[in-house]
Amino acid sequence: MQKLIQAAALALSFAATAASAQAVRVEKNMSLELANQIAGATVAACSAAGYNVSATVVDRAGTVRAVQRADNAGPHTLEASRLKAFTSASAKNNTLAIMEISQKNPGAANLGQIPGYLLLGGGVPVKVGNEVIGAVGVGGAPAGNLDEQCAMAGIAKVQDLLK
């Protein structure tokens, strides 16, 4: 009987340890320094291609960490870039891909109705391995695919920091 009680106590202590380990999560997130580097590199990439854009970088929760607006970028580009970054971080996917999914799949046709979502190309998740730590959104190039190219170029500039 004594051994049964000891075994039960041991099993309960293991269960309690496992439960407490699951209660706290450790996550990577976007630092201000990294966000500023991505925003600057993204605007520079678009400027080099002749596009006046805004770039917004958000953390994993979709909260703005950095914003840069190129000279002569339209005022609408600020909000467009923020919404694209939020959408990308939230869905953990490129906004161009999300837009295409919503157009081709009737079951996803209402994705654009989610508050804060903007289904236009230009939002790209920032990843460390397979973990999304944030996203960059770009607004102002002549087409969403060009916004996306600038975002990807900005992320590529800091790829060594994403380890």
Is there a domain that residue 5 lies in? no
Positive or negative, the CA dihedral 133, 77, 120, 158 is: negative
Running DSSP on this structure, what letter comes out for residue 76?
A: H
> What is the pLDDT tens value at each position of the chain, 163 positions in all?
565 555 555 555 555 555 556 789 889 999 999 999 999 999 999 999 999 999 999 999 999 999 999 999 999 999 999 999 999 999 999 999 999 999 999 999 999 999 999 999 999 999 999 999 999 999 999 999 999 999 999 999 999 999 8
Is there a domain that residue 4 lies in? no
Give the list of residues 6+ apart from residue 146 with CB closer than 8 angstroms, or none.
Answer: 46, 49, 51, 121
Q: Is the pTM of this model over 0.75?
A: yes
Please provide residue 95's backbone torsions phi and psi, each rounded to the nearest 5 degrees.
-70, -30
**pLDDT in the model for residue 6:** 56
Q: What is the CATH number of the domain that holds 151?
A: 3.30.450.150
Is there a domain that residue 97 lies in? yes
Tokens coding 30: 């976007």
Is there a domain that residue 52 lies in? yes
CA-nearest of 97, 82, 64 to 138 is 82
Are 132 and 125 contacting, i.e. CB atoms less than 8 angstroms apart? yes
**pLDDT in the model for residue 7:** 53
Range of the domain at 108: 32-161
Q: Residues for the chain: how many in total?
A: 163
Is there a domain that residue 7 lies in? no
What CA–CA distance (Å, rounded) separates 95 from 90? 10
Number of structural domains in the chain: 1
Is there a domain that residue 25 lies in? no
**pLDDT in the model for residue 136:** 98
